[in-house]
Amino acid sequence: METPYTLLDGKEINRQMREEIKAEVEKMVAEGHKSPRLIAVLVGHDGGSETYVHNKMITCEACGIRSETLRFEADITEEELLKEVAKLNADDDLDGFIVQLPLPKHIDAQKVIEAIDPRKDVDGFHPTNVGKLSIGLPGFVSATPFGICELLRRYNISTDGKHVVVLGRSDIVGKPVAQLLLHKDNPGNATVTVCHSHTKDIAFYTRHADVIIAALGQPHFVKADMVKEGAVVIDVGTTRVPDASRAKGFRLCGDVDFDNVAPKCSYITPVPGGVGPMTIIALLHNTLLAARRNRGLEK
């Protein structure tokens, strides 16, 4: 017997949240404050990065966030880039900025991230923000963990007392989302297990999970027999699989064998259209938050 499942529609939540953020920006401006201002630093001409930054900027702009892309050629030195970061840190009219990754190999990306003023680090990658996320202090939560938690929140999926199994221990997904779901918060209060490449018998954990967050980057890793009836499944995987039938020559493939897993789930994210559209919302949310803090409207 198949359980009817609900799709966690990231596209729809993205649309709702953009409207909410736009309304908040308008309110802020109507109350006499400057609108939030964001800069994206783009080094070189990587096709993927160009697209990502372009999409981020037009989405922000559409919500009333003043947004610019600051471009540098791929041969900029680390020293020069650090100077530019210092200038952005010192710009009082700038609420937040991001440095689009990856950076050219001659630049130490970690050094650049650590040079960003944590109060302007709307990507949430600075160690200070990673630490604040861990402790539960107000900072900036990075895109994917933010997107996952917001999806759970918007669909009223409680994780309180639930067993959440996170597949993958990356610094940008697995580790921070595990931390967030441990907090005394909603979502939160979960028993959290983090599995990864060294885990023996991953299925033992996933079969017991009330919520599975799959972020391994291995297409269709999670099969139906690894999932409990009624589980919530969040698929963070977005591997590009060659597909001649698509205009781009590839399709995005999640970590979950959706067709076979979905019938067992209470809720499941599609790929694409699940976690993906939620990640850009983090940038809007964080930029608005930075602006509210800078204008004394929020702690």
100 is catalytic: yes
Pick the closest to residue 72 from 60, 61, 84 (CA basis): 84
Which of these is catalytic: 9, 95, 100, 257?
A: 100
Q: CB of residue 53 vs its own copies: minimum separation in angstroms?
A: 24
Please identify, using beta-carbon distances, which residue of 187 and 277 lies nearer to its own copies: 187
Q: CB of residue 110 vs its own copies: minimum separation in angstroms?
A: 7
Amino acid at 28: M
87 is catalytic: no
Which of these is catalytic: 56, 120, 162, 264?
A: 56
Please identify, using beta-carbon distances, which residue of 147 and 174 lies nearer to its own copies: 174
CA gap 142, 140 in Å, rounded? 6
123 is catalytic: yes
Asked if the peptide bond before residue 145 counts as cis, ω within 30 degrees of 0, the response is: no
Task: Find the Cα–Cα–Cα–Cα dihedral 245, 250, 254, 256, rounded to 10°.
Answer: 40
Query: Of all helices (H) and strands (E), which one includes residue 213?
Result: strand 211-214
Task: Find the Cα–Cα–Cα–Cα dihedral 120, 272, 54, 150, rounded to 10°.
Answer: -30
CA gap 49, 57 in Å, rounded? 12
Amino acid at 288: L
Please identify, using beta-carbon distances, which residue of 48 and 161 lies nearer to its own copies: 161
Which of these is catalytic: 9, 95, 121, 123?
A: 123
Please identify, using beta-carbon distances, which residue of 89 and 260 lies nearer to its own copies: 89
Q: CB of residue 231 vs its own copies: minimum separation in angstroms?
A: 15
Pairing of strands 239-242, 250-253: antiparallel
DSSP per residue, 140-183: ---HHHHHHHHHHHHTT---TT-EEEEE---TTTHHHHHHHHHS
Q: CB of residue 230 vs its own copies: minimum separation in angstroms?
A: 15
Q: CB of residue 36 vs its own copies: minimum separation in angstroms?
A: 24
State the residues that interact with its own copies by CB under 8 A: 110, 126-137, 139, 160-161, 163, 169, 171, 174-176, 178-179, 182, 189-196, 198-200, 204-205, 208
Please identify, using beta-carbon distances, which residue of 200 and 248 lies nearer to its own copies: 200
> Which residues does the annotation mark as catalytic?
56, 100, 123
